[in-house]
Structure 1
Amino acid sequence: MEPENDTRISYFLLRGLSEEPELQPLISGIFFSMYLLTMIINILIILVIISDSHLHTPMYFFLSNLSFIDICFTSTTIPKTLVNIQTQSKVITYSGCINQMYFFLLFIALDGFLLAVMAYDRYVAICHPLHYMVIMNPQLCVLQVLFSWIVSLLISLLHTLMALWLSFCTRVEIPHFFCELNQVVHLASSDTFLNDMVIYFRSVLLVGDPFSGILHSYCKIVSSIRAISSAQGKYKAFPTCASHLSVVSLLYSTIILVYLRSSVIQNSHSSAAASVMYTLVIPMLNPFIYSLRNKELKMALRSFL
């Protein structure tokens, strides 16, 4: 069996969020502003955590990794979208589409795994505070991040290699502003049964496993907070995980909404518009959510600036 793509297709067409010419400058302006803000804020968070020795703890180590992943995640799709709008072109090369799909899958998987690791960190901090620095030692933190990278790399590589075996018609329009895996697979002219099975397995692994880990950690956290007798103690314990819980709720609710909607309404521009939430809006909001709820980080930001 040999790949059939090379002689049959050399590019895809991205239909984007809207085909109305008068809306393109507005979309371009909004995307560019949000992308620029995302870059500045996330880079600032990383620099602050690196420069302030008081923030060299497991929680901020994971937060700096999350900021780095958000930068890469957003940069996977938005620059190409901006270029296409400015040049009034919908074309993305076949190799460009495959690369975009690979890195998109990589960073969205990393996002899920890292949020699960951060939930475990909050569980240890609240439920085992006296042993926190012993359990969450630097070696374990690095291993957790490294494990997330390895698993995400392997899963995204598997999807990408399987996509290479798909064949397409000579003209393929993707009803999205980037090469989203489900959309690309559904547009293939060859049999996609194995691809659909792997996508289903990936959804269970990358959504089910991290989410169940997050849910288990927060069940333990809530149980520990309820056991605290003083109201002041409960008030101090909850804010340490409130920011993380906000990010988790926002990300997973958006992803579930997008994929449930796309399974009902195929090739819909509304699905592409909803995808803006987790490709651009959430990476932009994450630093604000963490900094606004975190006194240590706000003090470090003031000192850095």
Structure 2
Amino acid sequence: MLEIRDLRVRFGAFPAVDGVDLDVAAGEVLGIVGESGSGKSVSMMALMGLVDPPGQVSAAALRVNGQDLLTLDAARRRKLVGRDVAMVFQDALASLNPSYTVGYQIEEVLRAHLGLRGAAARRRALELLAQVEIPDAPNRLKAYPHELSGGMNQRVMIALAIACSPKLLIADEPTTALDVTIQAQIMDLLLRLQREQGMALVMITHDLAVVAEMAQRVAVVYAGQVVETGALPDVFEHPKHPYTAALLAAIPEHNRGARRLQALPGIVPGAVDRPTGCLLSPRCPRVQARCRAERPAVVDGVRCFYPLIEEAVA
């Protein structure tokens, strides 16, 4: 369903995304995890064509359902993005237009991609609000985004995203700024819709517990690169990359009885402090001379010269 090869996004001298490869099968749920600033959201924004200048996007392949977005003209790409592939953004209130009602914005999507108008568009909009479990749908269609709660606005965003029954849905930290109860409801809703409609789902999140519960595979991203991919729960039970192991070690449940949470020292490298060798080398407890001199390639799903599996086998 989704094939990304050597995706790169640069903002001036800063490589926000540095050679990302990803695959998502039809009907699969892929989790993407990593620290803030690691390039998770920018990768998917590049796929959707939402990286504006001065950002520069390049890739060997960006295929959705067999169609290469790199070779499509602007008109054909607009027909594909929003219909076959859709995205739920982090901040629903900032993503919705405050000047138009919820109903108008849903019907706008239906007009643009499905050609629905008038009563047909309104019926479909009501169906969508019911699908995402918004009560009193006829009155909610007349509401403006500022008149709805954060959870309601996020449900409206999901309704917009699934309006055209996409084959691939990207959810970019869809529960940011929502309380814990509403977070669980939104996650359950996304998973239910994914199963009912047979969509592929890419879930971008900081929450490893969400990925462990929802996803079938995970991609761990660091400093614009995918450092480990694999099936769940294997990756979380037997991490191969030191960065994956560090993320898991920082989970509060793994630190019961300790005075401080485990943490990985240092910060994600930026434009001026990017290492010559492995990007994790300044922070990695297992660093060796080769790590500082050479940039590792991905081998068997892990980007590391000395993966943890070797230590376990020895």
TM-score by length of 1: 0.26
The answer to which structure, 1 or 2, has the higher relative contact order (CA under 8 A, 6+ apart) is 1
Which has more helix, going by share of residues?
A: 1
Which has more strand, going by share of residues?
A: 2
TM-score by length of 2: 0.25
